Amino acid sequence: MPKARPTRRPPARKARPARFSGTRAFERAIRNADSSANYVLRLYVTGNSPRSQTAISNIRRLCETHLKGRYDLQVIDIYQQPSLAQGEQIIAAPTLIKKLPAPLRKIVGDLSNAHWVLLGLDIPENAGNATGKETAA
């Protein structure tokens, strides 16, 4: 009569410590993001053209309506400061760049469609209000 083979059990697995998940932490940070974050915006325009003036008035209106007290808007004329435009790789004007909060975003055009501008900048349409700073370069 053949001998019965003993059954082999796999070795017991040790419990692994929970790993820190960068993705989970990032998603949690986005969900818990401070809605009072300050926005740093740069608008690159070409002189005093009608399209530039329209873009300036549109972004000022949007900032005062949706980001009042939480924005820093810098208007840069690429005719007067071409090195700044070259450093940001601006190829069309007007161009709005959201530097902060991350991620960096660029919007080209006269910013006349408020819904798309707010969507592109990740600004909720019902964002809160107080006084913003604006500088001209």
Q: Given a cut of 90, is residue 125 above it in pLDDT?
A: no
Q: Given a cut of 60, is residue 69 above it in pLDDT?
A: yes
Average pLDDT over residues 21-27: 64
**Interatomic CA distance for residues 119 and 114, integer angstroms:** 8
Output the average pLDDT for the chain.
81
Is 56 within the bounds of a domain? yes
Percentage of the chain modeled with pLDDT above 70: 69
Is 47 within the bounds of a domain? yes
Is 127 within the bounds of a domain? yes
Q: Given a cut of 60, is residue 28 above it in pLDDT?
A: no
pLDDT of residue 8: 75
Is 90 within the bounds of a domain? yes
pTM of the predicted model, to two decimals?
0.67
For residues 84 and 14, which has the higher predicted lDDT (pLDDT)?
A: 84
> At which residue do the structure tokens 């006269």 appear?
110
For residues 90 and 35, which has the higher predicted lDDT (pLDDT)?
A: 90
Here the CATH number for the domain that contains residue 84 is 3.40.30.10
For residues 112 and 16, which has the higher predicted lDDT (pLDDT)?
A: 112
Domain that holds residue 102: 39-136
pLDDT of residue 41: 95
Sequence-separated (6 or more) residues with CB below 8 Å from residue 51: 94, 110
What pLDDT band is residue 40 in, cutting at 50, 70 and 90? very high
Is 6 within the bounds of a domain? no
What pLDDT band is residue 21 in, cutting at 50, 70 and 90? low
Q: What own/partner pairs with CB < 8 Å and gap ≥ 24 does 55-61 have?
A: 55/94, 55/96, 55/109, 55/110, 55/111, 56/94, 58/110, 58/111, 58/112, 58/114, 58/117, 59/96, 59/111, 59/117, 60/134
Domain count of the fold of the chain: 1
Is 43 within the bounds of a domain? yes
